[in-house]
């Protein structure tokens, strides 16, 4: 059973406004993306890693990420598209059709644990579609025109993370259907849900943050200090 991790790292860091895309920013002398890939490199259940990056960073990733940190599971580096959904679809098309399971993970979530990756893969073998998520802590309200419309039941609301793990053919079908319908989803799971597949939820980890702001970079530094 071939399992491939598709690392989506084609973003441009519009919120950080940094010279480098955020996935290449270094924390303690290592790019964020390298921390992320390290987890999948060390996971015995992952056979290969496919990396999706901005087209003009293909060479940079090859030398400054893959070669520099001696990643052995990287088989392909693919250029991304206009939106994240386009980038993941590019990656899916580059995956061999002999693949059984594909994990889609954000390149800027460097603190996912290997044990949680393994748990999600094992669950996917049974349920075909698995996402990581956390129950929200705060009260959640729906707002329109700066006024509260309603207060939602937070016990039924979860915040979604990656990796999101799927049977490869199911995910490819979901992406192809979305492309035909010109549907843009907010995550991979939303595309799978709309073709009628039930998605199993696995409780995630609070350290599995997505680095999108300068405040997140500070938080990431603190997490690394705690790890060490």
Contact predicate 160/136, CB 8 Å: no
141 part of a folded domain: no
Residue 59 lies in a domain: yes
Give the count of domains, the chain: 1
Encode pLDDT of 6-45 as tens digits: 999 998 765 555 678 899 999 999 999 999 999 999 999 9
Structure tokens at 198: 């039930």
Check residue 16 and give its pLDDT. Answer: 57
Q: What angle do CA 195, 197, 203 make, to 5 degrees?
A: 130
Mean pLDDT within 63-84:
95
- Flag whether 80 is in a domain: yes
Residue numbers of the domain that contains 29 = 2-133+162-227
Contacts of 224 (CB under 8 A, 6+ apart): 27, 28
In a domain? residue 153: no
Does some domain include residue 150? Answer: no
Considering the domain boundaries, does residue 91 fall inside one? Answer: yes
50 within a domain of the structure (yes/no) = yes
- The verdict on residue 140 lying in a domain is no
Q: What is the pLDDT of residue 227?
A: 62
The pLDDT assigned to 12 comes to: 75
Residue 19 confidence (pLDDT): 72
Q: What is the CATH number of the domain that holds 14?
A: 3.90.550.10
**DSSP result, 117-170:** HHHHHHHHHHHSEEEEEEE--S--EEEETTEEEEE--GGG-EEEEEEEEEEHHH
């Amino acid at each position: 059973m071939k399992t491939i991790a598709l690392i989506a790292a084609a973003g441009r860091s519009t919120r950080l406004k940094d010279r480098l895309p955020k996935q290449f920013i270094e924390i303690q002398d290592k790019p964020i993306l390298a921390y992320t890939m390290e987890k999948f490199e060390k996971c015995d259940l992952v056979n290969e890693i496919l990396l999706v990056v901005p087209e003009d960073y293909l060479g940079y990733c090859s030398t400054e990420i893959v070669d520099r940190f001696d990643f052995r599971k990287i088989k392909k580096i693919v250029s991304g598209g206009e939106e994240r959904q386009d980038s993941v679809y590019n990656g899916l098309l580059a995956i061999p059709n002999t693949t059984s399971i594909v994990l889609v993970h954000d390149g800027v979530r460097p603190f996912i644990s290997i044990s949680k990756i393994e748990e999600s893969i094992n669950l996917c073998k049974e349920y075909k579609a698995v996402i990581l998520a956390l129950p929200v802590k705060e009260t959640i309200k729906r707002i329109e025109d700066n006024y509260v419309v309603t207060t939602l039941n937070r016990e039924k609301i979860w915040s979604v993370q990656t990796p999101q793990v799927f049977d490869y053919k199911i995910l490819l079908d979901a992406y192809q259907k979305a492309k035909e319908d010109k549907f843009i989803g907010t995550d991979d799971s939303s595309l799978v849900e709309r073709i009628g597949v039930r998605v199993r939820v696995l409780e995630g980890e609070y350290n599995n943050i997505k680095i999108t702001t300068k405040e997140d970079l500070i938080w990431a530094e603190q997490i690394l200090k705690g790890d060490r």
